[in-house]
């Protein structure tokens, strides 16, 4: 059976990969769209995801883990705004699921607090993305 430290390193690494992808895509998409409110929100979320990545990376390094990342951008910029926002909403749902599962691992109070904060932030992102989509439809 894996130790608590090994489980934490695995979970933090997974979360870090999720955050790095989000940082990249939020910032790239923000620069590619014309809608001012959506652009401002995506830039805001990119900054929040960078903060998340820093928090996760610090914990990972503290435990002796290694920061790794691989992301190959593809057709991300050739999509309509609605599709971009929908995909970001789906990515936020996935992040919430990752952090909920991580919190459920009960790695300790420090990790419970970290993952609870990340869940709250990702829920906020998901809510705002849904509002932007509703505004586009209405």
CB crowding 100-124: b at 16 or more within 10 Å, else e: eebbeeebeeebeebbeebbebbee
Residue 131 predicted with pLDDT over 80: yes
Domain count, the chain: 1
What pLDDT sits at residue 130? 94
The pTM (predicted TM-score) of the whole model is 0.85
Residue range(s) defining the domain that contains residue 118: 4-137
Q: Encode pLDDT of 38-92 as tens digits.
A: 899 999 999 999 999 999 999 999 989 988 876 666 555 667 878 888 989 999 9
CATH of the domain at 109: 1.20.1260.10
């Amino acid at each position: 059976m894996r130790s608590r430290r090994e489980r934490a390193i695995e979970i933090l690494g997974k979360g870090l990969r999720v955050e790095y992808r989000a940082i990249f895509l939020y910032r790239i998409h923000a620069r590619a769209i014309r809608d001012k409110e959506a652009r401002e929100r995506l830039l805001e979320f990119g900054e929040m995801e960078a903060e998340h990545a820093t928090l996760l990376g610090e914990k990972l390094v503290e435990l002796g883990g290694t920061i790794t990342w691989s992301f190959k951008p593809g057709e991300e910029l050739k999509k309509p705004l609605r599709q971009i926002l929908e995909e970001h909403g789906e990515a936020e749902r996935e992040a919430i699921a990752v952090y909920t599962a991580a919190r459920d691992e009960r790695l300790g109070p420090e990790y419970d607090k970290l993952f609870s904060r990340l869940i709250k932030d990702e829920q906020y992102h998901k809510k705002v993305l849904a509002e932007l989509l509703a505004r586009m439809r209405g």
